[in-house]
Amino acid sequence: MSRKILLVLLVLGLVTAVYPAGLKVGSRAWGGLVMSSYQGWPLPVGIPELRYQNAWRTGFGLGAGLDIKVPRSPVSFIIGLSYLQKGTELEVYYLDTKTGSYFYRLGSLSQIGLLKIGLEKKIAPYALVGYELAFILSHHGQSFGSSPGGPDSDLKPDTRTVDVGLVAGVGLEFNLEKIRPFIEFCYFHGLSNLSRGTGTLEYYTTIKSRALLLSIGLGIGQR
C-alpha cells in the first residue's frame, strides 16, 4: 500500500508543478500490438521427462496521457493511462515432443510514468524509462492440471490485484506544424508475483508478466 501511495503522490506532484515551472503540456494517444509471456512455471508433477516453456501471446494495447516538456531541454515527462492485454502460452513437452498448451490472458489498467529524453528536431529519436503501476482487471485461462484445450476458467480470484513494473523503450517522433505522430517500442518488466498460489492457481505459484509493445500514436500541443 505504501508503494501505491508514493506513486500517486509522485504523479500529483508532477502535475501540480507543471504551470508554476513554466512547462509545456501536450496530449498523446496511441494504440498498438502487445507480445507477452509469463516468467515462472507450474510446480513439477513428478514426471522427470516433462518440462514447461513459455511462448509469446499476442494482444493489443490502448492508451492516452500528457507529455510535459521542460523548455530548452531534451527532457519530457509522460504521465498516462493504458489498457494492456498480457498473457502467455504455456507449452508442455515430454522429452522433446510438445504434448499440449495452456493459454492465459490477463487484462490490466496501467498508470505509467516515463522520463523521455530526445532531440528537438523535425524527425526526433528518443529514449524512455520509467514505471508501470498495473491494476489487474481480468485473468482467464485453463487451470493447470486439466486437459489441455479445455474451457477457460476465471483466474482473477486467485490473482493479485496490483503489479508494479519497470518500463524502457525507444521511439521516433515527427514534429509537424500542429501534430506529432510517433512510433514507439517498449519493454514492460513486471516485478510482482501475480499468483496467490491458491484455487485455480494452486500449482502455478509463480507468475511474473513480461511484455513488448509496438505502438503508433499522435501527440497534440507542446510546441
The model's pLDDT over 2-54, given as tens digits with 9 standing for 90+, comes to 555 555 545 555 555 444 556 788 999 999 999 999 999 898 777 778 889 99
- The whole-number pLDDT of residue 18 equals 46
Band of the pLDDT at 121, cuts 50, 70, 90? confident
pLDDT (tens digit per residue) in 58-114: 999 999 999 999 888 899 999 999 999 999 999 999 888 998 899 999 999 999 999
- 2-221 CATH fold: Porin (2.40.160)
Pick left, alpha or beta for residue 177 (phi over 0 → left; psi -120 to 50 → alpha; otherwise beta).
Answer: alpha
Cβ(83)–Cβ(119) below 8 Å:
no
Q: Given the DSSP bridges, would you call strands 50-55 and 57-69 parallel, antiparallel or unpaired? A: unpaired
pLDDT (tens digit per residue) in 138-183: 999 987 766 666 678 999 999 999 999 999 999 999 998 889 999 9
Residue 213, all three cell numbers:
509493445
Residue 70, all three cell numbers:
521542460
> Buried (b) or exposed (e) across 82-98, using 16+ Cβ within 10 A?
bbbbbbbbbbbeeeeee
* The one-letter amino acid at 160: R
Torsion (CA) 114, 119, 121, 126 in degrees, nearest 10:
-50
